[in-house]
Structure 1
Amino acid sequence: MSFFRRLPADVRKALRLEPGERVLTFARSDDGHVVATNLALFLSDGTRVPYEEVDKASWDEAGLRVLTMGGGRHLERISEPHMLPETVRERVNSTIVVNKHVNLPGRGGVRLVARRRPGGEVLGWTLVFDEGLDPEDPGLRAQAEQALEGVRRSMGV
Structure 2
Amino acid sequence: MKLFNRTPAEVREAVVPPDRALTYAAGPDGYVIATDRALYLGGARLPWFQVDRAMWDEEGLTVVTTDGRSHRALLPEPGRVPEAVRERVTASIVVNQYAPLDARGGVLLVARKTDEDQLVWEFVFDPGLDPTDPGLRALAEQALEETRRSFGV
TM-score clears 0.5: yes
Alignment of structure 1 residues 11-22 onto 2, 5 Å: 11-13=11-13, 15-19=14-18, 21-22=19-20
Q: Which runs of 5+ in 2 are unaligned?
A: none
Q: Which runs of 5+ in 1 are unaligned?
A: none
Give me the identity figure in percent.
Answer: 54
Equivalent in the alignment of 2:123:
127
Between the aligned partners of 1:105 and 1:40, the Cα distance in structure 2 is 37
1:152 and 2:148 matched = yes
Between the aligned partners of 2:91 and 2:21, the Cα distance in structure 1 is 17
4+ long deviations beyond 3 Å: none
Kindly state the Cα deviation for residue 7 of structure 1 after the two structures are TM-superposed: 2.7
- Aligned residue pairs: how many? 149
- Residues 4-43 of structure 1: CA deviation (Å, up to 9, x unaligned): x933113312x14222x21111111120111111111111
Q: Residue 40 of structure 1 is aligned with which of 38, 41, 45? A: 38
Q: Any idea what SS the aligned residue of 1:12 has?
A: helix
- Residues 64-95 of structure 1: CA deviation (Å, up to 9, x unaligned): 00111222211101101111011011101111
1:68 and 2:94 matched = no
TM-score by length of 1: 0.88
Equivalent in the alignment of 1:7:
7
Confirm or deny: 8 A CA contact 1:94 1:118 kept in the other structure. no
Q: Any idea what SS the aligned residue of 1:28 has?
A: strand
Q: Residue 84 of structure 1 is aligned with which of 81, 84, 88? A: 81
- Residues 127-156 of structure 1: CA deviation (Å, up to 9, x unaligned): 000111111111111111111111011111
Q: Any idea what SS the aligned residue of 1:71 has?
A: coil
TM-score by length of 2: 0.90
